[in-house]
Amino acid sequence: MAKLDLFKFVPFRLNRLGAEVSAALSSEYRARYGLDIPEWRVMATLGFRNEACSAQYIAQCTRTHKSTISRAVTSLLEHELIERVENTEDRREFRLALTRKGHALYEELIPRLLRREQEILSCLTAQERKEFARLLGKIEDSLDLVQASRPMSEVEAY
């Protein structure tokens, strides 16, 4: 008689925890700045890199569908948080970058989010936090989930 306790089943737990943590964080940028998750991901990617990126690149990095990124980009353009310039070398794509206004928002938001992350992890000791991050990394690696912080030119496959 096989049994599976949902509460000991890691996939379920990861899914629940991911959703819960995500919801906790998104209140920070949704209520306060009107950003949704895809928009925040675009902002985060552009803010972290200094070079302008294509939408495709952001989609790959964040593992978000290109149509979702496209919509987020449209919205951010309307709110003048990002700007885009045509890439003269490849006129299919656009280069995206934060505007001054977008940068200001980013600078204001980041410390808040890092604080929230610390709150969530405050139940762990420094040692445990480190270990948790390491184990998370191993799992990500094995799922080939790390598009990580590589320069744009090196990212090709999804």
Q: Are 135 and 127 in contact (CB under 8 A)?
A: no
State how far Cα 125 lies from the chain centre: 25
Looking at the Cβ atoms of 57 and 106, the one nearer to DNA is 57
Q: Tell whether residue 121 is a contact of a copy of itself (CB under 8 A).
A: yes
Q: Are strands 82-86 and 94-98 parallel, antiparallel or unpaired?
A: antiparallel
Binding-site member from 90, 117, 128, 140 for DNA (CB under 7 A): 90
Compute the distance between CA of residue 157 and CA of residue 59 in angstroms, rounded to an integer: 11
The answer to whether residue 11 forms part of the interface with a copy of itself (CB under 8 A) is yes
Q: Is 28 in the site for DNA (CB under 7 A)?
A: no
| Of 1-9, 68-76, 108-116, 122-130: span binding DNA (CB under 7 A) | 68-76
CA-CA distance, 57 to 156, in Å (whole number)?
A: 9
Segment near a copy of itself (CB under 8 A); pick from 6-14, 67-75, 76-84, 88-96: 6-14
- Residue 102: alpha-carbon gap to chain centroid: 16
Nearest-CA neighbor of 42 among 99, 108, 112? 99
Can you tell me which of 31, 126, 143, 157 binds a copy of itself, judged by CB under 8 A? 143
First to last CA, the chain: 40
Residue ranges binding a copy of itself (CB under 8 A): 1-22, 24-25, 41, 44-45, 47-48, 61-63, 106-107, 110-111, 113-114, 116-117, 120-124, 128, 131-133, 135-136, 138-143, 145-149
